Amino acid sequence: MAMKERLEALKNEALAQLQEVDSPETLNDLRVKYLGKKGALTEILRGMGSLSAEERPVIGQVGNEVRAAIESVIEVKQNAFQKAETEKRLQAEKVDVTLPGRPMSQGGVHPLNKVIQDIEEVFIGMGYNISEGPEVETDYYNFEALNLPKDHPARDMQDTFYITEELLMRTQTSPVQMRTMQSMDGESPVKIICPGKVYRRDDDDATHSFQFNQIEGLVIGENIRMSDLKGTLQQFVQEMFGANTQIRLRPSFFPFTEPSAEVDVTCVKCGGSGCRMCKQTGWLEILGCGMVHPKVLEAGGYDSEKFTGFAFGMGVERIAILKYGIDDIRHFYNSDMAFLKQFSRI
């Protein structure tokens, strides 16, 4: 059979089979069979080398016409399959606009975030700025610069997660205070609070967690006194727990402050008359504080003969527990929706 007749026969065969196609997969198989690199059309056209110079353009034109005819039918079929698939998907995804609307569930602020916001608002109202720093800290900023050398026994109370011998997950937000002090020129006053997550190797129970939130405060300037610290904390607790709340300071020890004190507030449940919550004492411990140790001032670049300051630190979870009467710190972290919904409108 002459090459021209073979091409015409191939076209008729291909068009006949394409008319019977019922799926995109079969269509693709036929495209490869007739028009692929090893397809029937290519096989025929490879024989053009044996033709005379006069015959080649004629057969080449016929070959192009055959290819165009087959591609045209394939394109029509592809468009038909795509349209059918689109219609099918639209029907499957069809929305019945006559159905009644579904109410959208409304979230709320997590109680810990709400307490952090409340504390920040109180101190911003007193002229404090907010400072933040890295949660992965160096041993120097977390301990040594805060008057806690490597052999200091107080480190045992703040056992943490070490990454290397000199890198660790911070046990307090005090490193932010030191970084802020060192960023000053040794003459500028400081008035900041430092909120953030901290980490210690505690076993999780009703009152302890290996991760918790802390807010520390720092004030440095000339003639800063212990009375300024007490007045600041008195205003803070009255803003957080009510105008009738009182505080008392008990002597304590912290390596980075001297003198140091633990701060108690009148029991939020009994108002100080004595109850089971406060163990009949009328007081609840809330935070630690003190005057900044001279060695810490010097490490921060300040002249301890000219400047004084005070610092305090509190656990956000502790404040939230007292404020909302929560009996287990783990409630804050276990994503119990029944628990969290109680605070959706606070």
pLDDT higher than 60, residue 29: yes
With 80 as the cut, is the pLDDT of residue 48 above it?
no
Q: How far is CA 90 from the centre of its chain?
A: 37
pLDDT at 302 over 90: yes
Beta bridge partners of 205: none
- For the stretch 76-88, pLDDT in tens is 989 998 998 888 8
pLDDT at 97 over 80: no
pLDDT at 63 over 70: yes
pLDDT at 89: 87
Q: Are 271 and 322 in contact (CB under 8 A)?
A: no
pTM, two decimals, is: 0.67
Q: How far apart are CA 243 and CA 228, in angstroms?
A: 19
Is 144 annotated as ligand-binding?
Answer: no
Strand intervals (E) in 97-206: 129-130, 136-138, 167-169, 190-199
Query: How many angstroms separate the CA atoms of 252 and 220, rounded?
Result: 21
User: What does the block give as tokens for 97?
Assistant: 């606009």
Q: What is the mean pLDDT of residues 58-78?
A: 87
What residues pair up with 284 in beta bridges, in sequence order?
Answer: 265
Query: Which pLDDT does position 282 carry in this prediction?
Result: 92
pLDDT higher than threshold 60 for residue 1: no
Question: Beta partners for 262?
Answer: 250, 288
Dmax of the chain from CA atoms? 117
> Residue 207's pLDDT is what?
79
Quick check: 40 pLDDT over 80? yes
Helices (H) and strands (E) in the chain, counts: 11, 9
The identity of residue 63, as a single letter, is G
Could you read off the pLDDT of 147-184 as tens digits, one per residue? 988 877 767 666 788 899 899 999 999 999 999 999 99
- The residue length of the chain stands at 346
List pLDDT tens digits, range 230-268: 999 999 999 999 999 999 999 999 999 999 999 999 998
For residues 288-316, give the mean pLDDT. Answer: 96
Q: Both tokens of residue 212?
A: 């918790």
Q: What is the pLDDT of residue 158?
A: 64
DSSP 189-258: -EEEEEEEEEE--PPPSSS--SEEEEEEEEEEETT--HHHHHHHHHHHHHHHH-TT--EEEEEEEETTEE
Task: Label residue 107 by pLDDT band (50, 70, 90).
Answer: confident
Please give the structure tokens belonging to residue 66: 């055959």
- 130-to-171, 177, 191 alpha-carbon distances in Å: 19, 11, 9
Q: Which residues contact 320 (CB under 8 A, 6 or more apart)?
A: 111, 112, 115, 326, 332
Q: What is the mean pLDDT of residues 206-217?
A: 90
